[in-house]
Amino acid sequence: MKRDRLWLAVATIVALGLIIGGFLLGNGLLRARYADRSVTVRGLAERDVTADLATWTLNYSRQGYDLQTVQSEVDRDTQAIRQFFAGLGFEPDALQAAGAGVNQMRDNGVETISINQRLQLRTTDIAKARQAVAQQFDLVRRGVLLQEGSGMVYSFTGLNTIKPGMVAEATRDARAAAEQFAKDSDTGVGGIKNATQGYFSIEARDGEQQGYGVADTPFKKVRVVTTVDFYLD
């Protein structure tokens, strides 16, 4: 009799274990199924900024048959360039030597000497830099002929200060897209399952591409696209 009651108790415990285990297993599978429900969307953030650094590399050269004469002409060009920028209010140290080269070529016994000089302007005064570009033909009047590639380049260096806000904005934009998807599919949006920050790009605000004959612009557009996976309720 006692043995029968013992077996009954064991059977009852085993049955309860199977019932509870089945419930937990089913509930776990249900949670897993819902956890697997997600939507992947992209969020966009754009911001207009103004460049805070201007860099102008000025390339110029002189050519002739006598080294001393050619060097004197290059020195006159260098002085003319420095006077041009001084007249616009730039400090002398705003212009720095960025390289020089001497080439000697001989043709039919005649030696030709070419001296290449490069000066670079770096300034955070964007308004003054734009004024210099607008008046660059004054250099031509002074006898300075700039070579191809002597263009002003405007840069925005404050990206790290606006990154957090732009990422948050792009994430909000992604959530809005997810909520619209959820509304259309009669579900709700939960937390973030996974997120990937896209590449930050800085381009001309008006879509112009810098190239030959196209001047760079200090007005930029910063853009980032984030990819976010949201759980669906």
Is the domain of 164 the same as that of 231?
yes
Residue 144 main-chain phi, psi, to 5 deg: -95, 125
Q: pTM value?
A: 0.72
Nearest to 233 by CA among 35, 29, 40: 35
Choosing from 112, 130, 154, the residue where a domain stops is 154
Tell me which amino acid residue 37 is.
R
* Beta carbons within 8 Å of 176's beta carbon, 6+ residues apart: 43
pLDDT band per the 50, 70, 90 thresholds, residue 207: low
pLDDT of residue 50: 94
Q: Is residue 14's pLDDT more than 60?
A: no
Average pLDDT over residues 45-74: 93
**With bands split at pLDDT 50, 70 and 90, how would you rate the model's confidence at 208?**
low
Same domain (yes/no): 18, 42: no
Question: Taking 90 as the threshold, does the pLDDT of residue 52 lie above it?
Answer: yes
Strand order in the sheet with 152-155: 95-107, 110-123, 53-64, 152-155
Task: Examine the domain organization and report whether 72 and 44 are in the same domain.
Answer: no
> Which residue carries 């607008």 as its tokens?
134
Q: Are 218 and 154 in contact (CB under 8 A)?
A: yes
Last residue of a domain, one of 121, 154, 187: 154
Q: Which residue has the higher pLDDT, 57 or 182?
A: 57
Helix (H, G, I), strand (E, B) or coil at 194: strand
* Domain identity same for 118 and 207: no
What CATH code is carried by the domain that includes residue 145?
Answer: 3.30.70
Mean pLDDT of the region 145-170: 90
Would you state the pLDDT for residue 1?
A: 53
Same domain, 5 and 30: yes
Confidence of residue 84 (pLDDT cuts 50, 70, 90): very high
Structural domain count of the chain: 3
CATH of residue 176: 3.30.110.170
What are 122-145's pLDDT values in tens digits?
999 999 999 999 999 999 899 998
Identify residue 57 by its one-letter amino acid code. Answer: T
Same domain, 84 and 117: yes
Give pLDDT tens digits for 150-159.
Answer: 889 999 999 9
Range of the domain at 24: 1-36
CA atoms of 113 and 97, how far apart (whole Å) = 21
- In this structure, are 193 and 145 located in the same domain? no
Q: Does 105 score more than 80 pLDDT? A: yes
> For 66-70, 103-107, 131-135, which range has the lowest pLDDT when averaged over its residues?
103-107
69 and 183 share one domain: no
211 backbone dihedrals φ, ψ, rounded to 5°: -175, -170
Among candidate residues 154, 174, 209, the one where a domain is terminated: 154
C-alpha closest to that of 215 among 94, 51, 49: 51
My answer on whether 99 and 184 are in the same domain is no
d(CA 137, CA 158): 32
pLDDT, mean over the chain: 82
